[in-house]
Amino acid sequence: MIIQRVVLNSRPGKNGVPVAENFRLEQSTIADTVQAGQVRVKTLYLSVDPYMRCRMNEDTGSDYLQPWQLSEVADGGGIGIVEESKYDNLAKGDFVTSFTWPWQTVAILDGSLLQKLVPQLVNGRLSYFLGAAGITGLTALLGIREKGHVAAGANQTMVVSGAAGACGSLAGQIGRLEGCSRVVGIAGTDEKCSILVQEMGFDAAINYKKGDVAKQLRELCAGGVDVYFDNVGGDISDTVISQMNQNSHIILCGQISQYNKDVPYPPPLPPDIEKIQKERNITRERFLVLNYMDKQEASVLQLCQWIQEGKLKVRETVVEGLANIGAAFQSMMNGGNIGKQIVSVSK
């Protein structure tokens, strides 16, 4: 069977900025027959995410991420529909997902590695299982619950950097649902800031490209910052940390501003900021959602319930066509989208 697939065409280098041309669309073939325990699936949606930047390097810098190989098919979160099954627990027509879905139009996969989806849980919006009801939503929810130490009635203020992104836009809302009394987002455009406040219930949002961020933070977080959901690292995070309270908490989700630099993860703080962190007993521990998969099922059900009740607003940027996945990745890395970046492969 002839298919289309996307392979890694070139590496941007550890200090380079990814471009669409780092990926290549090509034709390939898969077997015409499905073996015992396998299913043939048609790809519907693929997810592009910041962590994938690390997979473009020969050394990902992480023991849980494998590098993409040159001229080999890329992979990540994906959703598809079963076309043929020789795996007992899946049947033709079932919707399934995997965290290691190949970037190709049709694939033959091991049925035991696929998770069956129930579209009704997300009001029929299957792509949500790659975002708000998937690993992105789990990262936000479990990050807050495991590392944020949020307590209802404690009058806590949360700040979220990268707040208009896939994880940040959910984290601010979940922080509120979990009990934070004030939530402030940091984003890169006035449009994003407006959406955070008017649509997603943030109390305020700061455009870091305009004005004095430190001054705005002091005005908007008069009592200091108790919880910081950190998606970006770098100068923005240094500014937030300098205004954090005694015994406060950093949820170290991502460091996207550092992903195109050859630095360790998590990147070290500047000496003056590290001094503040230690003096104020601010926790800053690496958070990996895959370490909490024993809580996955209950957490996904919680996320789906909030979606159904309208308590969790979801934004997606959907790009049509497998051929455009490289451009979608480049746009996501440049912060050009709002919410989750999804590629619709086929309907």
pLDDT at 198 over 50: yes
53: left (phi over 0), alpha (psi -120 to 50) or beta: alpha
- Torsion sign across C-alpha atoms 254, 258, 262, 266: negative
Per-residue pLDDT reduced to its tens digit, 139-197: 999 999 999 999 999 999 999 999 999 899 999 999 999 999 999 999 999 999 999 99
pLDDT at 306 over 50: yes
Q: What pLDDT does 276 receive?
A: 97
- Give the dihedral sign, CA 61/66/70/76: negative
Q: Quick check: 17 pLDDT over 80?
A: yes
Confidence (pTM): 0.90
Q: What is the share, in percent, of the chain residues with pLDDT greater than 70?
A: 97
Q: How many CB atoms lie within 10 A of CB 321?
A: 14
The distance from CA 147 to its chain's CA centroid, rounded to whole angstroms, is 17
Helix-strand-coil split of the chain, %, nearest 5: 35, 30, 40
Report the C-alpha gap between 261 and 220 in whole angstroms: 31
pLDDT score, position 59: 86
Q: Are strands 244-252 and 182-187 parallel, antiparallel or unpaired?
A: unpaired
Asked whether residue 118 carries a pLDDT value surpassing 50, the answer given is yes
DSSP lists the bridge partners of residue 227 as 158, 249
| pLDDT recorded at residue 259 | 46
Mean pLDDT of the chain: 92
Query: How many Cβ atoms from other residues are within 10 Å of residue 223's Cβ?
Result: 11
Omega of the bond leading into 50 within 30 degrees of 0 (cis): no
Q: What are the φ and ψ backbone dihedral angles of 116, each rounded to 5 degrees?
A: -75, 140
Structural domains present in the chain: 2-131+315-344 (3.90.180.10), 135-290 (3.40.50.720)
Residue 257 has pLDDT above 50, yes or no: no
If DSSP codes are grouped into helix, strand and coil, which group holds residue 67? Answer: coil
pLDDT for res 339: 87
Q: What is the mean pLDDT of residues 340-347?
A: 86
Given a cut of 50, whether residue 232 has pLDDT beyond it is yes
- Select the highest-mean-pLDDT range: 195-199, 258-262, 291-295: 195-199
Q: What pLDDT was estimated at residue 255?
A: 64
What average pLDDT does this structure show over 81-90?
97
**Per-residue DSSP letters for 216-271?**
HHHHH-TT-EEEEEESS-HHHHHHHHTTEEEEEEEEE---GGGTTS---SSPPPPH
